[in-house]
Amino acid sequence: MGKRSSSNDSKYNAGLTGCRFCFDEMNRILPLLMSPDCEALLAEEVKNNEFLLIRTESSRSRTLAELRRRFDAMGGDFWEYYLTLCEESQRVAMLFAVLKTYHIAMDFHLNVVIEKWKSVDQTVSPYDLEMEFNNIASKDEFVDSWSDATRKKIASSYLTILRQVGLLNERTDMLQPLRIADEDFAYYIKQGEGWFLEACLLQSYEIERIKSVLL
């Protein structure tokens, strides 16, 4: 009988259960993450709750761990750029950071959201995500070991992210494209991340127009 897969063998993690979009929280904590005294400042924040404004110490610790995971996944240059953006473009940039940090979110986005956008039925439901979970679990024993409760929490967190960034209509659960300045979208092309424009549900002609900003 084969050895059971552990988290160390898998590219997936369940971090989204402890941290959803966390846009305001990240903005408040970002100066700490960017400081040379990061370690000491984060330790103080877990105890003092000056910025996160999260009730329990254990919840603050979990949230900070996930915000730091996002920060580390993107690197300091990205966050320096992030700070120059208006709120609308920051929200889009946070979606980019989430997709780059969590493989499960990336799979949901590429295999469910974009495919739904191209289809007749442009709504996204927990059932759609469960079908993708089953597909991932069939190839990854660690994901297959997750409980139904964990799966539901991750799916709920991901749908919350879509709503808070503006990709999913709050009332209808219909997908809708993101709208920010062409110059802000052009950043992702310059970084070799042109796929993200399609992830924001832009049409081909819009992407071509944005590429012209770079000429």
CA distances to 14, 36, 39, 82, 205 from 75, rounded to whole Å, are: 21, 14, 16, 11, 31
Residue 139 corresponds to which tokens in the numbers above?
């190839």
What is the token pair recorded at 53? 């404004």
pTM: 0.94
Tens of pLDDT, residues 80-127: 999 999 999 999 999 999 999 999 999 999 999 999 999 999 999 999
- The HSE-up count of residue 142 (CA atoms within 13 Å, CB side) is 11
User: Which is nearest to 164 in space by CA: 178, 150, 151?
Assistant: 178
Mean pLDDT for all residues in the chain? 94
Predicted local confidence at residue 155, as pLDDT:
96
Token duo for residue 100: 């780059």
pLDDT of residue 7: 62
Mean pLDDT value of segment 48-76: 94
pLDDT of res. 3: 40
The confidence score (pLDDT) of residue 46 equals 95
Q: Is the pLDDT assigned to residue 2 strictly greater than 50?
A: no
pLDDT confidence of 9, banded at 50, 70, 90?
confident
